[in-house]
Amino acid sequence: MRMGVYHRKLDLKNGCVDLSHGSGGRAMGQLISSLFHEAFGNEWLDRCNDQSAFDVSTGRMVMTTDGYVVSPLFFPGGNIGSLAVHGTINDVAMAGARPLYLSASFIIEEGFRFSDLKTIADSMGEAARGAGVSIITGDTKVVERGKADGLFISTTGIGRLADGLDLSAEKARVGDRVLLSGCLGEHGVAIMSRRQNLAFQTEIVSDSAALHGLVAVMVAAGGNGIRVMRDPTRGGLAAALNEIAHQSRLGFRLWEEAIPVKPEVAATCELLGLDPLHVANEGKLVAIVAPDVARSVLAAMKAHPLGCDAADIGEALADDHRFVQLSTSFGGGRIIDWLSGEQLPRIC
Amino acid sequence: MKYVVEFRNKTIAQGLAGAIGAEADLRRPYRFMEFCGGHTHAISRYGLEDLLPANIRMIHGPGCPVCVLPASRIDMAIRLADRAEVTVCVYGDLMRAPGSQGQSLLRAKALGADIRMVYSTLDAIRIAEQMPKREVVFFAIGFETTTPATAVMVRLAGKKRLKNLSVFCNHVLTPSAMHSILKNRNAHDIGRVEIHGFVGPAHVSTIIGTEPYESLAEEFGKPIVIAGFEPLDVMQAILMLVRQVNQGRHEVENQYSRAVKREGNRRAKEEVLDIFELRDPFEWRGLGLVPNSGLKLKQAYAQFDAEVRFSMHELHVADNPVCECCAILRGMKRPVDCKLFGTACTPETPIGACMVSSEGACAAYWTYGRLRDYQPRRMS
């Protein structure tokens, strides 16, 4: 809602959110207008309706939703805002779809600084524009101090699937290749480096990025030869591949030496007793690809800026146990299991 | 990762594997126990058993402090954390360790207890300083490796005159547990232990040195090779054990000479001796009561002893009778021989000591090793 003239401008430098900003009154209108519309600006929001109407093309649409509770809110390489845009875009893109629209819902704790909220909203706007996606509707709620840890964001994404494209885990077949788009573990390690009780010096920044551009070149190269794609976020590559193994009733064998991990990430994981295969990513994807198109899909990935470290890391096997196995760089073998318990809460 | 990647070199590993294969006598079995969870982890993580001849079997010992902490001590900590005035600080891997009746610190925290995960004893001091009106208790666990850090914390707390910090002490001693395993004193109906040698502790030995193992090697006639936690360390130690067995020797040898001295770390040992004294006996999950195996704070530091300060009562919780940890920890059975393995007892719902932490024998086998010989049970 845009309410016209206000008595006083929001004090973006020193002010903070209070309960009136969630009350539905003029203060809320001012907050939405001054911060969110300003940051997201597009033709839909400019109409100031409680919803937005958009044209639908023929064919299949894709929809997904995700909540973001990352702690801390600001981390090297991004913040909760850019993450909330990239993460949901990526969930749409993993279907092979082109993301079009987002909604954004904010749950804000009273006392949250306008300046931080503006930084977050601005980076959401920037991330959305960078991805060619519009945030066309939203919601703002304010809760009492102590009832939310600063800010939670929920985003929903809608995208359009190219005609005839249908990616799904059960389409994986024995002999399919496992392609990974880049180095593992950067998001998780960047977050850890800013945790209050863990702070350590590192140059590592989160890999948070929108992957639909990379997906588009992969789909162009491989079409339905790409069986399924996942972005390995919480639980890392281990969780993503175990999910696919479970759904496809296949096993996988990976080659440890083929899996790209930056030395800084490997060293941090070593220090903290973590396995990079379990650490979260926010700008990587793993694709199960038919062997006849694997080479061309991998070449397309490597030619894209977000896939320059892409690698063929393994293959699908017939396996009733649905194990994800690893041939270690040491010459032995082991299982890559789901992570038990919680390695690190509130990573996204 | 200097000083790490060198110890994970595939070519050297293949050379060592070749030497082990050439020197191991095919006519006899070799059963070596790696005492420490760190070794278990390295063996599983790098798939070392794939590089060993079939007649060399590694037995995963009880050397994971989270695993061997009995349910009764977890229950005691939960009771403490339930007190309104108390904040309990713990190392993170203890959060999921099972108490009795499905209790854990993680669950207690979810139900409102103030339990904080810390990475060092200094974090506990910081928390105590930040919250002077709360009683902060450090839930101290671990072998000789972590005991000096707790000792330093107590000393610093005294120096800072902190009145609101105390220790719930569960520190245990490695040589006593090795002695218990070899003597088989608490095992019931599991027969004689067939262990031909030990891959000895790495980090523990940096503190206590190699000397405390000498009487064990002598008394039981078993070779002990102190080894580092990197996979090449373990491979080399196995080769050294094979040679000792073949030559009929039973000595303490030090593969981990880059970090371990015979006399250990004198300064750390003095810190520990100053603050702690023996507690006899102490209960281990899976091993039962082990003589001379636990530590408690000396009388002079009673003000920092949570058990004194809060008049904590000893609890007793029996291990699950079906659980085979007792036999698995002694190498008499394998994880798959246990009826609970992979059914009621999984890493998500651990019952026995061996499944509790990722370094436990069953958890390591579940996570890394099932591939080798896991057969799904058929419903009968």
DSSP letters along A279-337, please?
Answer: S--SS--EEEE-HHHHHHHHHHHHHSGGGTT-EEEEEEE--TT--EEEE-TTS-EEE-P
Domains of chain A: 19-160 (3.30.1330.10), 169-335 (3.90.650.10)
Q: Which residues of A touch B46 (CB under 8 A)?
A: 328, 330, 332, 334
Using the beta-carbon criterion (under 8 Å), do A341 and B96 form an inter-chain contact?
yes
Chain B interface includes A162 (CB < 8 A): no
Chain A interface includes B119 (CB < 8 A): yes
CA distance A322 to chain B (A): 10
Nearest to A211 by CA among A133, A267, A289: A133
Question: Mind listing the pLDDT tens digit of every residue in chain B (380 residues)?
Answer: 677 788 998 899 999 999 999 999 999 999 999 989 889 889 988 989 889 999 999 988 888 888 889 999 999 999 999 999 999 999 888 888 889 888 899 999 999 999 998 888 999 999 999 999 999 999 999 999 999 999 999 999 999 999 999 999 999 999 999 998 888 644 444 445 578 999 999 999 999 999 999 999 999 999 999 999 999 999 999 999 999 999 999 999 999 999 999 999 999 999 999 999 999 889 998 888 999 999 999 999 999 999 999 999 988 888 888 988 888 877 778 888 999 998 999 888 888 878 887 778 888 888 777 766 654 333 33
Q: CATH 3.40.50.11750: which residues of chain B?
A: 5-64+188-251
Does the domain at B67-174+264-309 match CATH 3.40.50.11740? Answer given as yes
* Interatomic CA distance for residues A285 and A290, integer angstroms: 16
Q: Which residues of B touch A334 (CB under 8 A)?
A: 44-47, 367-369, 371
Chain B interface includes A263 (CB < 8 A): yes
Nearest to A334 among B8, B51, B369 (CB): B369
Using the beta-carbon criterion (under 8 Å), do A330 and B48 form an inter-chain contact?
yes
Q: What is the pLDDT of residues A90-136, one digit of tens each?
A: 999 999 999 999 999 999 999 999 999 999 999 999 999 999 999 99
Q: Which residues of B touch A197 (CB under 8 A)?
A: 117-119, 123
* Interatomic CA distance for residues A325 and A252, integer angstroms: 6
Q: Which residues of B touch A337 (CB under 8 A)?
A: 347, 366-368
CATH topology for B5-64+188-251 is: Rossmann fold (3.40.50)
* Interatomic CA distance for residues B270 and B54, integer angstroms: 44
For the record, the structure tokens of A188 come out as: 């998780």
Using the beta-carbon criterion (under 8 Å), do A332 and B374 form an inter-chain contact?
no
* Interatomic CA distance for residues A347 and B308, integer angstroms: 40
Chain B interface includes A196 (CB < 8 A): no
Q: Which residues of B touch A270 (CB under 8 A)?
A: 1, 4
Chain B interface includes A345 (CB < 8 A): no
Question: Which of A264, A275, A278, A334 should be substituted to probe chain B, the one whose Cβ sees the most B Cβ atoms within 10 Å?
Answer: A334
Nearest to A330 among B8, B95, B358 (CB): B8
Using the beta-carbon criterion (under 8 Å), do A334 and B8 form an inter-chain contact?
no
Determine the 3-state secondary structure of A27 from DSSP. Answer: helix
Enter the ipTM.
Answer: 0.80
List A residues 82-111 in contact with B (Cβ-Cβ < 8 A): none
Q: CATH 3.40.50.11740: which residues of chain B?
A: 67-174+264-309
* Interatomic CA distance for residues B12 and A36, integer angstroms: 59
Nearest to A332 among B50, B366, B367 (CB): B50
Chain A interface includes B178 (CB < 8 A): no
Amino acid at position B157, single letter: A
Chain A interface includes B1 (CB < 8 A): yes
CA distance B8 to chain A (A): 6
Do B65 and B143 form a contact (C-beta atoms < 8 A)?
Answer: yes
Q: What is the pLDDT of residues A138-196, one digit of tens each?
A: 999 999 999 999 999 999 999 999 889 999 999 999 999 999 999 999 999 999 888 75
Using the beta-carbon criterion (under 8 Å), do A331 and B123 form an inter-chain contact?
no
Give per-residue burial for B184-210: e unless 16+ CB within 10 Å, then b: eebbeeeeebebbbbbbbbbbbbbbbb
Nearest to A331 among B1, B51, B368 (CB): B51
Using the beta-carbon criterion (under 8 Å), do A333 and B47 form an inter-chain contact?
yes
List B residues 90-109 in contact with A (Cβ-Cβ < 8 A): 95-96, 106
List, in sequence order, every residue forming a beta bridge with B164; answer none if it has no partner: none
CB pairs under 8 A between A and B: 77
